[in-house]
Amino acid sequence: MRRIENLLSTMEEESLPALYISNPKNVRYLCGFTGEDSALLVTQKEVFFLTDGRYVEQAAGELPDLLQRVCWRQSLMDEAAEIINKLGLPLVGFEGAHLSYSDGEQFKSLVKADTRAVMGWVEKFREVKDEEELRSTLEAVRIADKTFMHILNYIRPGVSEIDVATEMEYFMKRNGSEKTAFPTIVASGIRSSYPHGEASPKQIERGDMVILDFGATCEGYVSDITRTVAVGQPDSRLDDSYYLVLEAQKAGLGAIRSGMKSKELDSIIRAPFIRERMNTHFTHGAGHSIGLDIHEAPYISYRSEHEFAEYAIMTIEPGLYLQGVGGVRIEDDVLVQREDSRTLSKSPKSDLIVLPFYN
Ligand SMILES: [Mn+2]
């Protein structure tokens, strides 16, 4: 209940008597429920958990006793509105970044109260990981690291990207992952210049760079790592790119700490690319937070004044993409600390791995 109590203090400071939580990840974070189609109505006096008949039994097992469990009849939102109206609440908040426009409009019309869209309240708490969250993330990272070592023996000319992705996803599951953190990215050859090339039927060929971007899920918490390997000797421009990306990525991992501004970290990661006049080939963000979601706030951005919190878990993932040639990306997960932050993922990267090929 500590997480709900933290939310209640924010609500008190903001003079908000009630808040309707509809983002399922926020529901899970606040009360531990792992199913779908549920919502929370948080008030200073009582906390209502709403779901439907499919989840009543599961909710009884997972939820703290202090929560009022409600099984809705018409719809989640109708039921929430009915409670709000019955309690005669004057003002109720909803999650502006989660409800669709039409759901928001419907919510406003159903409740006989003033409404206020709130954004990022629960997400702000989610940035700072507690011990249990760290333990789950570490397990998801461990599985991803193990998967990388496994897949090195599998990648060779003639094997398709989909074959590689399928083997990785199967291996992660066999090793304790609940599900893949996101659709596994395997992008080879010229497709490796697509920063987010999902695995295709393309066969891996001699001379290809292969970008592997993947993650496991444990107790709902994800890992997200990327490694780039070559099958046989690649184009020398890609070989050079590899060591430049590695330099940028290591600079980021070495620099990140709590209290540092996001844009400051961005410029540290970007510096080697600017020096080598390659910055225009770095076409995406340098990293993001992970947790119950694969992309969570905060993000690493040249525009962001956000200061990283202690015990945030961030990815650092610079990349370079040469159109028609190929690309390189290296990504690790790091626990932000006050002094030396701790890189959680351990997959080898210090030399470009050139896999042997057999004719
Ligand atoms: Mn990522």
Residue 358 has a pLDDT of: 67
**23 alpha carbon to ligand 1 midpoint, in Å?**
21
In the prediction, which pLDDT does 168 show? 98
From ligand 1's centre to the CA of 317, what distance in Å?
6
Between the CA of 324 and the centroid of ligand 1 the distance, in Å, is: 23
Against a cut of 0.95, is the pTM above it? no
Q: Which two tokens stand for residue 298?
A: 């905060």
Burial class of 65 by CB neighbour count within 10 A (0 to 12, 13 to 18, 19+)? exposed
Ligand 1 centroid distance, CA of 221 (Å): 14
CA of 189 to the centre of ligand 1 (A): 21
Quick one: residue 287, left, alpha or beta (phi over 0 = left, psi -120 to 50 = alpha)? left
**What's the gap in Å between 138 CA and the centre of ligand 1?**
16
What was the pLDDT predicted at 68? 82
Report strand pairing: 332-335 vs 313-316.
Answer: antiparallel
* Beta-carbon count within 10 A of 259 CB: 10
Tell me the CA–centroid distance for residue 330 and ligand 1, in Å: 10
What is the Å distance from ligand 1's center to 303 Cα? 19
Cis status of the peptide bond prior to 348, with omega within 30 of 0: no
Tokens of 118: 């709130």
Cα(95) to centroid(ligand 1), Å: 25
Tell me how far the alpha carbon of residue 94 lies from the centroid of ligand 1, in angstroms: 29
The DSSP secondary structure of 246-307, one letter per residue, reads: HHHHHHHHHH--TT-BHHHHHHHHHHHHHHTT-GGG--S-S-EE-SSSSSEEEE--TT--PB
For ligand 1, the distance from its centroid to the CA atom of residue 143, given in whole angstroms, is 16
Cα of 333 to ligand 1 centre, how many Å?
9
Give CA separation, 131 vs 30, 76, 218, 234, 296, in Å. Answer: 16, 33, 14, 42, 18
Element of type H or E holding 313: strand 313-316
Tell me, in angstroms, the distance from the centre of ligand 1 to residue 285's CA: 9
- Ligand 1 centroid – CA 17 distance (Å): 37
| Ligand 1 centroid from CA 27, angstroms | 24
Whole-number pLDDT of residue 333 = 98
* Interior angle at CA 164, CA 158 and CA 166, nearest 5: 130
User: Residue 74: its pLDDT value, please?
Assistant: 85
> Do 134 and 311 contact (CB within 8 A), yes or no?
yes
Closest CA to 355 of 243, 241, 227: 227
Position of tokens 């937070």? 289
> 331: CA distance to ligand 1 center in Å?
7
Q: How many Å lie between the centroid of ligand 1 and the Cα of residue 327? A: 16
287 CA from centroid of ligand 1 (Å): 6
| pLDDT at residue 298, as a whole number | 94
pLDDT at 65: 76
Cα(70) to centroid(ligand 1), Å: 37
- Check: CB of residue 8 under 8 Å from CB of residue 40: no
**CA gap 70, 83 in Å, rounded:** 10
Tell me the CA–centroid distance for residue 359 and ligand 1, in Å. 34
Q: Could you list the pLDDT tens digit for every one of the 359 residues in the chain?
A: 899 999 999 999 999 999 999 999 999 999 999 988 899 999 999 999 999 888 888 888 888 777 888 888 888 999 999 999 999 999 999 999 999 999 999 999 999 999 999 999 999 999 999 999 999 999 999 999 999 999 999 999 999 999 999 999 999 999 999 999 999 999 999 999 988 788 999 999 999 999 999 999 999 999 999 999 999 999 999 999 999 999 999 999 999 999 999 999 999 999 999 999 999 999 999 999 999 999 999 999 999 999 999 999 999 999 999 999 999 999 999 999 999 999 999 999 999 999 987 65
Domains in the chain, please, with CATH?
A: 2-127 (3.40.350.10), 131-355 (3.90.230.10)
Helices (H), the chain: 2-13, 24-31, 56-62, 76-87, 101-110, 121-127, 131-152, 161-174, 236-255, 262-275
